[in-house]
Structure 1
């Protein structure tokens, strides 16, 4: 069973190497040629040393002197082979590095592009830590064998050249030396059989440690406010210790086999010296021949290890490549058409018999309604009624399982890539700001003038606090906007959407942290067509009665269905579920305000 697993890993590993070789043919060829030069010059250096021993060293011992010409030629031979060998090493390492880093960069780009292509529903099923591991640790592991690969190929050239040279020099000593190669091959086979499952486990644990670390850091606020630091530390420590033990197990195997693999060529040298000494004494060979063959084996000891390095990295490479391939082959990426949406004027939104499910759980059932251009519609419903999922379909973060979302009569699935985001903007519940300036967070790199930025900030009621910041638009807001309040972050996120002059603006409870008075100003501004070069159609997920009352129409959702629709007053009069919901929010807010007032009086 273990032999079968090892064989499978070997085949998969060679296929992974084949992918890289086909992708970087020219660079790989240059690396192998450089390695071949190194291998050939290694053998040539042994021949040069043997020639120098025969023609310079031994005559010097015998006659007490040596010819200047022979000394000069020996020096040139040794220096020449050393220089060419050094050039071979430099070329091999340079081109191997270029190949490895290009493949790693290509994998990271491909994985990242795939992340962007895949719908939000796919991301919901995959933790962020795992995705980071795919783009980083797995990309590195997949192509780690490329660094020693050209040297390993050069070793094959070297072994073939050395074998020919030894056979030509002395067939008997060559046979003695060749006995060591089957032993090395057997040791490498045993080495891989032991190392493969351990390396695979270690690579998997790296991803799991990354997942826990990212989750803990991303949820730092929850961890600290609930006093869960110790529990998170214990959880991370347990997985980190598993990774430590797995890496130690890998190191233990390497520590056991490395000395043996290093010793085998040395044993070959000793065998050659023992047999060679007898043949030298009988006059069958000269001292130069013995030195040449023995020196070849001393040189081969280190390069032979390159084969072991490649084989040692193959299990990790297979795991890393398969994890990357799982992302790249993931289905569910969105298909796009060639249709284009109009650039100006408020949009007409039509939701036609829309259903959506998370796995086996359906959250939206046959939702159907229309929003006239330039109108403001409030989506209202209890928690879990599907409001956030519904608005995600408006900007095509997800596609409905059935039905369609149409803007100006065009199904969003028929719109060209990027066409939806050009005319539709979503301000989500969770506000995210980059560790950048106010300007950078509003424009996100688009060539937008400061005048337009300030206009969007005024419309979002954010110009006042931005003007008061130390550097205005150039003020750094910190990671996730930590230097700003929740309401300020929401208004910057709203300005980010408004500066793009969307024809359809979707607010998913995007003003919940803003004062009711400020929220009213924002919504009144959005309804004022003069505030922008073109007015927007606005869909807002709302809870406050004051906010809902500003909408032209209300769509009330219950259990993923449209339970009723009409004006705020109409729904208050005829829909009990709606009335109970909005008045409950009003009572809660009134109680909170009363409590705050009592606390101020007591103080």
Structure 2
């Protein structure tokens, strides 16, 4: 939008002015901080000097006099008293700064306070530069039969973005094992918001979620692999190798890794890379195209063989041929797998995907406008 309007210089000038104002404010803040710290540090010495200058003769005339030892003890204890008040003032200042930082962090992360302050061990290099060994990641298993997905039920899910009327309201959905459910609708109708609320990526102010009839109290911790895996519309890749981006430390066989890559229709792209799985992707996967990034994220999800696979507009950056190849492989997953029968929850507006869906949920302005099959959709969504 900035380039179209030709406003590059204006925007850059605006940011420069903001940065200059911030710089001036920081200089003033630092100057005042240094003055106050210097005053507190020298206050005890100045007070001691003033006492000696004005009250030395009076102290000598006191009964018994004031010995050198008494005076030394007085000065020694005085430093403790002044240090305490200086520390108290600094602590109060730091607490106020922490409150502001915490409020900003809470608004950006959209997480509860307990999540933000939860303790996690840090694996940082020691003073000698030696890095501690990272913990081994053991893949979780869905062993209990009643833990395998049979039915996922969401009742009256609602969410409103702070300071806005955008969001979703009173959305209910039922997902059966092995089904293919598609959420569709116009841009801004709440499709991505619904997925993020369902998976616990956004807080759930109203509504309930049930997994096989058991209420899910914390979706963010419960709906994770191997129960559920999620590929967002804009996946996040890291500046490491392709193998590490897909596995993320997950121990698995090469056969399972290659199977996930083939299911994600990335095998041809991989064959064209000289370093194969050891190819370094650069920051945020900058060496890959948008469609390749989406398929790498899909392979990351498929290699975990989760019960519920959630795609947010997976094929938005794919060409027609690659999109058809990808979906044809995903469509055959349920029928060809013997031990792994995934359930699909997909956001898409593609006609081929809508025709394959067992159930379609049409959203409009944050609520369900229609629920049915492909033949039930309005003509505008079947083109």
The normalised TM-score by structure 1 is 0.48
Counterpart residue number, 1:454: 258
Query: What secondary structure does 2:330 align onto?
Result: helix
The normalised TM-score by structure 2 is 0.72
Distance 1:409 1:292 in 2: 78
| Structure 1 residues 297 and 388: CA distance shift in structure 2, 3 A | same
Q: In the TM superposition, what is the alpha-carbon distance from 1:295 to its structure 2 partner? A: 5.8
Counterpart residue number, 2:216: 412
Q: In the TM superposition, what is the alpha-carbon distance from 1:432 to its structure 2 partner? A: 0.9
Aligned equivalent of 1:361, options 148, 162, 165: 165
Query: What secondary structure does 1:422 align onto?
Result: coil
Counterpart residue number, 2:293: 489
Query: What secondary structure does 1:361 align onto?
Result: coil
Q: In the TM superposition, what is the alpha-carbon distance from 1:464 to its structure 2 partner? A: 3.0
Q: Equivalences for 1:466-481 in 2 at 5 Å?
A: 466-481=270-285
Counterpart residue number, 1:125: none
| Structure 1 residues 557 and 303: CA distance shift in structure 2, 3 A | closer
Counterpart residue number, 1:540: 346
Aligned equivalent of 1:234, options 4, 14, 17: 17
Distance 1:298 1:512 in 2: 74
Q: Which runs of 5+ in 2 are unaligned?
A: 117-141
Q: In the TM superposition, what is the alpha-carbon distance from 1:554 to its structure 2 partner? A: 2.8
| Structure 1 residues 461 and 368: CA distance shift in structure 2, 3 A | same
Distance 2:184 2:245 in 1: 29
Matched, 1:563 2:369: yes
Q: Deviations over 1:233-274 (max 9, x none)?
A: 332332232222122122233445544442222344556876
Contact 1:273 1:294 in 2 (8 A): no
Distance 1:325 1:344 in 2: 37
Aligned equivalent of 2:195, options 391, 403, 410: 391
Distance 1:556 1:456 in 2: 30
Q: In the TM superposition, what is the alpha-carbon distance from 1:331 to its structure 2 partner? A: 8.2
Aligned equivalent of 1:431, options 196, 210, 235: 235
Q: Deviations over 1:384-429 (max 9, x none)?
A: 2221122224323346555444443444338894355431111111
Query: What secondary structure does 1:473 align onto?
Result: helix
Query: What secondary structure does 2:311 align onto?
Result: strand
Contact 1:269 1:297 in 2 (8 A): no
Distance 1:241 1:322 in 2: 23
Q: Deviations over 1:174-229 (max 9, x none)?
A: xxxxxxxxxxxxxxxxxxxxxxxxxxxxxxxxxxxxxxxxxxxxxxx99x995644
Which is further off, 319-328 or 249-258? 319-328
Q: Equivalences for 1:16-55 in 2 at 5 Å?
A: none
Distance 2:101 2:18 in 1: 26
Root-mean-square deviation (Å): 4.1
Counterpart residue number, 2:91: 314
More strand by share: 2
Contact 2:183 2:361 in 1 (8 A): yes
Distance 2:259 2:279 in 1: 18
Higher RCO, 1 or 2 (CA under 8 Å, sep at least 6)?
2
Size of the alignment, in residue pairs? 343
Contact 2:146 2:212 in 1 (8 A): no
Q: In the TM superposition, what is the alpha-carbon distance from 1:508 to its structure 2 partner? A: 0.8
Q: Deviations over 1:83-108 (max 9, x none)?
A: xxxxxxxxxxxxxxxxxxxxxxxxxx
